[in-house]
Amino acid sequence: MINLVIGGAGFVGVNLSDMLMANGETVVCIDNFSRFGSGLIDRFLSHDYFSYYELDCTDEQGLNTVFKNFSDHRDEVLVWHLAANSDIPAGIDNLKIDVKDTFLSTAVILNCMKQVGFKKIFFASSSAVYGDHGGVALRENSGPLNPISNYGAMKLASEAMLSACTESFLELALVFRFPNVVGVPATHGVIYDFINRLRENGSVLEVLGDGSQRKVYLHVSDLIDALIHLRKLGRVGFEVFNIGPSDDGVTVQAIAEEVCSVFGGNPVIKYGSDRKGWVGDVPRFRYDVRKIGSVGWQSSRNSREAIELAASEICQSMV
């Protein structure tokens, strides 16, 4: 199996690549290194099963050229599309960011796949496609889908195009809707932000929103485990899976307290007054994970355990 991992130099990408190469599979990383440089893949460079291309996947000509290198083995190729903008507030401020990085990435990848004859894609989508449903447990076929961030909108746009392409040339489009994923190497997210703020000022932690926001968290090791599990099922067609623990999440307050406890020094936590942390933030979010449960997978950690492990890992890696 040849795994073309687009966005392979990001947080999920390096964890996935690690696991795939441990399985003895070939990994080809395609990444523009726009946010973290090539730092996260440095440790793969000497690995026999690893190669990479520095390329923005919205560069159609460039991506076509890369894809053509694998056209003789097109039936063994699996495309993993993990590339996206990861700064959600920035994408609300500037609409073009998610249009290009979160949606047009998908459009260009699909167009190149069609031309070269690749037929299988795994796509990293998001719980953000659902919008704000006040904590109702959301199923894969729930409606309506009313995203409140442009990031969520462009993930939904990508899903829609994958759905349509499965009607014409794709054999498989497996869509994974992730909640917040935590772990190392941390590149963004609430724990990472909190620790960064504490490193600047260890006596006070200022929190966006009133701390009551409650969401589901998945540890990246569970996410990768789920992806490998789902790949083994050998599905065809267009399929969507929520991936997450089955609990109803943890509050931002609990995360702030956990991070402060791990960081040490007894900082004061100051909360804002808004129910939402920022425009586009879904304050309360819960998954229904019965579908992935029905195919034999469940998360080894709940949200609280994922946060505890990640806080410890991230703190160790940053401090």
Q: Which is nearer to a second copy, 132 or 305 (CB)?
A: 132
Tell me how far, at minimum, the Cβ of 161 lies from a second copy, in Å.
Answer: 5
Q: Which is nearer to a second copy, 114 or 188 (CB)?
A: 114
208 interacts with a second copy by CB under 8 A: no
**Dihedral sign, Cα of residue 34, residue 39, residue 45, residue 50:** negative
| CA angle at 281 for the pair 79 and 290, rounded to the nearest 5° | 55
Binding part of the chain for a second copy, among 30-38, 165-173, 258-266, 284-292 by CB under 8 A, reads 165-173
Residue 255: partners with Cβ closer than 8 Å, 6 or more residues away: 190, 191, 194, 307, 311
Of 56, 140, 210, 225, which one interacts with a second copy (CB under 8 A)?
Answer: 140
25 interacts with a second copy by CB under 8 A: no
116 interacts with a second copy by CB under 8 A: no
164 interacts with a second copy by CB under 8 A: yes
157 interacts with a second copy by CB under 8 A: yes
Torsion of CA 308, 313, 314, 315, to 10 degrees: 90
Of 6, 78, 92, 289, which one interacts with a second copy (CB under 8 A)?
Answer: 92
Take residue 70 and report the two structure tokens written for it.
Answer: 């694998």
64 interacts with a second copy by CB under 8 A: no
Binding part of the chain for a second copy, among 142-150, 221-229, 291-299, 304-312 by CB under 8 A, reads 142-150
What part of residues 227-266 is at the interface with a second copy (CB under 8 A)? 238, 240
**Chain positions contacting a second copy, by CB under 8 A:** 92, 95-96, 99, 103-104, 107, 110-111, 114, 129, 131, 140-150, 152-154, 156-157, 160-161, 163-165, 167-168, 238, 240, 279-280
